[in-house]
Amino acid sequence: MPEGTEQRRSYRKGIERRQQILDHAIDQFAERGVDGASLRSVGDAIGVSHAALRHYFSSRDELLVEAYREHERRVQPETLPATEGAVESMAQSADRNRGIPGLVQLYSTLTSDALQEQHPLTREFIRARFSRVRDELAEKIAEGQRAGRIAADIDPRDAAALVAAASDGLQVQWLLDPGTVDVRRSLELLERFLPSGSAG
Amino acid sequence: MPEGTEQRRSYRKGIERRQQILDHAIDQFAERGVDGASLRSVGDAIGVSHAALRHYFSSRDELLVEAYREHERRVQPETLPATEGAVESMAQSADRNRGIPGLVQLYSTLTSDALQEQHPLTREFIRARFSRVRDELAEKIAEGQRAGRIAADIDPRDAAALVAAASDGLQVQWLLDPGTVDVRRSLELLERFLPSGSAG
C-alpha cells in the first residue's frame, strides 16, 4: 500500500476518533453538565483517558468549546420559517434546551469563563456567538418593522440584545426554579411589543 | 483578666480579621474577577495564605458567596424611591455594576456554579437571591398595575423574571462587547411596556 493511502487512512481514523470523543462528551455534558477545571478532571468526569483527550484537544477550553459548537450544529434547524419572529425563535430554542439541562449548564460555564481573561479561546467563541445571534435577531426585528408589526422607533440592535439576554437569563432562572419560572410565558411578554408574523 | 473577657476579645478579633479578608477579597475580585477552582488557588490569586482562608471559610464556595453577599450589603441603597419602577431599579443596579466589572464576573461565576450539583451552598444562595429579586420586582410591577400604568393582564411574576433575566443577560453581553451593547438603552425598551412612575 502506498504511504499516502496509509496516511490518509490514519488521518480519517483520527477524525473519526475525535468525533467519537466529542459525541461522548456531549452525551455526558447533557446528562450532568460540566464541572472540571482541567482537561484531566473533565476526562475523569466523562470517562475518557487524559492521553486520548490530549491527543485531540489542546486544552479543557478547546474541548468544551468544540463540544458546544458541535451540539449547536446538530440542533440548528435546517430551515427556519421566514415569518418566525425574533422572540419566537428564542422561545423555540429554549423549548429544545429544556430536555438537555446539562448543555444549558455547559453554555453557562462557557459564558462565565468568557468573562475572564484566562480563557481567551472561550471568550472569542462566546463573543462571536453573541454577535451572530444579535445580527440574526436584529434582522428579524427589522423585517417586522418593514412589515409594520413592530414600532419603527425601536432600535433593532438594542432590541436584539434584549431578546438574547432575556432568553439566556430566563433559562438560568428556570434551571434553578423550574416550578416557578416559565421561560416561554415570560418571553411571550416580550412578544407583545416585538410581535412575530404569526401574531401580527 | 477573666477568661470570658479574653475569649470575647479573641472572638472580636476573629470577626475583624474575617471582615478584613472579605474586604480584601472583594477589592481583588472587583479588579480582576475570580478564576480559581479551589480555596487554595483563590488564596494564591488574592494574596491571602491558604491557612488564613481556611481558618475563616470552610470552602472556596463559602468565600465567594460571603464576598458577594457582603458586596451587595454595601451597595444596596438605603432607601429606594417608592415610585421607582421595576426596570429602572435594575437599570440603576446595572449602572453601578459598570464600575466594578470584576464583581459582575464573580456573580456570573456564582450563577454558573449554582447550576451544578457540586455547589449546593452557591445554588442555595443564588436561588434565594433570584427569588427575592423577583418578589421585589413583582411588587413594583403590581404597584404599576394598581396605578394604571401597566397593563392589568400582565402576570407580575412572569414580568419580574423577564426583567431580572434581561438585566443579567445584558450585563454579560456588555462585558464582552462594551462598544456594541448598551444595558440601559436595551432595558429602556422594556420600560416602554412596564413603565415606572416617573415615565407614567
pLDDT tens-digit map of B166-184 = 999 999 999 999 999 999 9
Which structural domain range is residue B198 located in?
Answer: 79-200
Which residue of B158, B167, B171, B180 to mutate against A (max A Cβ within 10 Å)?
B158
In chain A, residues 29-88 whose CB comes closer than 8 Å to chain B: 32-35, 37
Asked if the Cβ–Cβ distance from B162 to A32 is below 8 Å, we say no
Tell me which residues of chain A have a pLDDT lower than 50: 199-200
CA distance A198 to chain B (A): 21
Number of domains observed in the structure of chain A: 2
Residues B101 and B190 in one domain: yes
Q: Answer whether residue A65 is part of any domain.
A: no
**CATH code of A32's domain:** 1.10.10
Residues of A within 8 A of B111 (CB-CB) are 108, 112, 172
Asked if the Cβ–Cβ distance from B169 to A173 is below 8 Å, we say no
> What are the phi and psi torsion angles at A39 (to 5°)?
-60, -35
Residues A31 and A85 in one domain: no
Question: What is the rounded distance in angstroms from the CA atom of residue B28 to the CA atom of residue A47?
Answer: 36
Question: What is the rounded distance in angstroms from the CA atom of residue A29 to the CA atom of residue A106?
Answer: 7
B142 touches chain A (CB under 8 A): no
CA distance B54 to chain A (A): 21
Average per-residue pLDDT for chain B: 88
pLDDT tens-digit map of B125-136 = 999 999 999 999
- Among B131, B158, B164, beta carbon nearest to A189: B158
Residue A167, CA distances (Å) to A91, A161, A162, B168 in order: 7, 10, 9, 11
Residues B104 and B189 in one domain: yes
pLDDT tens-digit map of B100-149 = 889 999 999 999 999 988 899 999 999 999 999 999 999 999 999 999 99
pLDDT tens-digit map of B30-63 = 887 787 778 988 888 888 899 989 999 999 999 9
Rg (CA), chain A: 20
pLDDT tens-digit map of A95-120 = 888 888 899 999 999 999 999 888 99
Asked if the Cβ–Cβ distance from A33 to B170 is below 8 Å, we say no
Which residue of B106, B129, B181 to mutate against A (max A Cβ within 10 Å)?
B181
Chain A residue nearest residue B156, CA to CA: A186
| pLDDT at residue A175, rounded to an integer | 93
Chain A residue nearest residue B166, CA to CA: A166
What DSSP string runs through B124-171? HHHHHHHHHHHHHHHHHHHHHHHTTSS-TTS-HHHHHHHHHHHHHHHH
Query: Residue holding cell 478532571?
Result: A41
**Residue at which a domain ends, from B42, B76, B110:** B76
**Residue at which a domain ends, from B76, B97, B128:** B76
Residues of A within 8 A of B145 (CB-CB) are none
Asked if the Cβ–Cβ distance from B161 to A186 is below 8 Å, we say yes
**CATH code of A183's domain:** 1.10.357.10
The torsion region of residue A31 among left (phi > 0), alpha (psi -120 to 50) and beta comes to alpha
Residues A34 and A113 in one domain: no
B118 touches chain A (CB under 8 A): yes
**Residue at which a domain ends, from B47, B76, B105:** B76
* Interface pTM, i.e. ipTM: 0.89
Residues A113 and A29 in one domain: no
Chain A residue nearest residue B185, CA to CA: A158
Question: What is the rounded distance in angstroms from the CA atom of residue A189 to the CA atom of residue B148?
Answer: 18
